[in-house]
Amino acid sequence: YSQIAACKLFDVPDIAFFETFEGVMRAVRDGFCEFGVLPIENSTAGSVNAVYDLLAQFDFHIVRSLRLKIDHNLLVKPGTKLADVREVYSHGQAIAQCAGFIESHDLHATKYPNTAMSAEMVANSERTDVAAIASRSCATLYGLEVLEPNIQDSDNNYTRFVVIGREPRVYPGANRTSLMITTANEPGALYRVLERFYALNINLIKLESRPIPGRDFEFMFYFDLDCPFGSKALDDLLDSIDDVCESFTYFGSYTEVL
């Protein structure tokens, strides 16, 4: 799915593939790739927390995002019947998005680094009781059959992918901004941040909390704001937000492609 997203986000991308999210981050950090494309949020399974944590760890920036419709398929070797399947392999997010199908067919789900590798593993396996949850394009790539199409729990299943880079880049029309904010561990700390958004008439479209590494039961917050880049409201916020928090990180302003 990341490949599909990359092809929609870039006209003629030269794509390199990595097994893990961190592998993508390292490739961008080391200059092997100019940009990385990673899933960051799903409408059914929620946020991909590992990507948020890596953004903070590598101090990277979001330069664009895409909302992609995700249709999961049960892929098997040719001739395999549903009654034969005992175990399914896929990425943890895909497994979560297809939990209803997996449970209703009494299948054992095993997490794998990504959906494409799951399809490859099934294609190369000598077992006849395994299947992969992946995109239809993986069936063509690895010589598998689509045994059951569209097995996700919700037909309204979308994943947001982000383009990440080492340096901030803002393109015309950028109207979404992502921030990470750390507040003091005291009553009213988060309220003061939210009050600042309200005072500047900035619409908050996402709020996510994540534990602060090395600090017990203390949290940092990720915010997505609906506010045009270059507007007075956003400029005033970035100039003054440190008055009401311990620290903040500006991840970037960008446009979301639908």
Residue 161 designated active-site: yes
Per-chain mean pLDDT for the chain:
94
The CATH label, of 3.40.50.300, 2.60.34.10, 3.40.50.12780, 3.40.190.10, for the domain at 1-69+158-168 is 3.40.190.10
Average pLDDT over residues 152-161: 94
Q: Please tell me the CATH code under which domain 170-258 is placed.
A: 3.30.70.260
Q: Is 159 a catalytic residue?
A: yes
Q: For residue 173, give both structure tokens.
A: 């029309």
Out of 21, 60, 161, 248, which one is annotated catalytic?
161
Indicate the pTM of the whole model. 0.87
Q: Which of 115, 159, 177, 183 is catalytic?
A: 159
For residue 187, how far is the Cα from the chain centroid? 31
Closest Cα partner for 190 from 119, 246, 254? 246
First to last CA, the chain: 15
Q: What kind of fold does domain 73-156 have according to CATH? A: D-Maltodextrin-Binding Protein; domain 2 (3.40.190)
CATH 3.30.70.260 placement within the chain: 170-258
Place of tokens 């995700």: 70
pLDDT above 80: residue 31: yes
* pLDDT tens-digit readout, 49-87: 889 889 989 999 999 999 999 999 999 999 999 999 999
pLDDT 10s digits, 228-238: 999 999 999 99
At residue 218, the pLDDT reads 79
Q: pLDDT category, 239, cuts 50, 70, 90?
A: very high
Confidence of residue 184 (pLDDT cuts 50, 70, 90): confident
Enter the tokens of residue 246.
């311990």
- Other CB atoms within 10 A of residue 165 CB: 17
Domain with CATH 3.40.190.10 in the chain: 1-69+158-168, 73-156
pLDDT digits (tens, 9 = 90+) for 89-101: 999 999 999 999 9
In angstroms, the CA 91 to CA 159 distance is 14
Which contacts (CB < 8 Å, 24+ apart) does range 215-222 have?
A: 218/185, 220/56, 220/180, 220/181, 220/182, 220/183, 221/180, 221/181, 221/182, 221/183, 221/190, 221/193, 222/52, 222/178, 222/179, 222/180
| C-alpha dist (Å) from residue 1 to 11, 44, 214 | 16, 16, 34
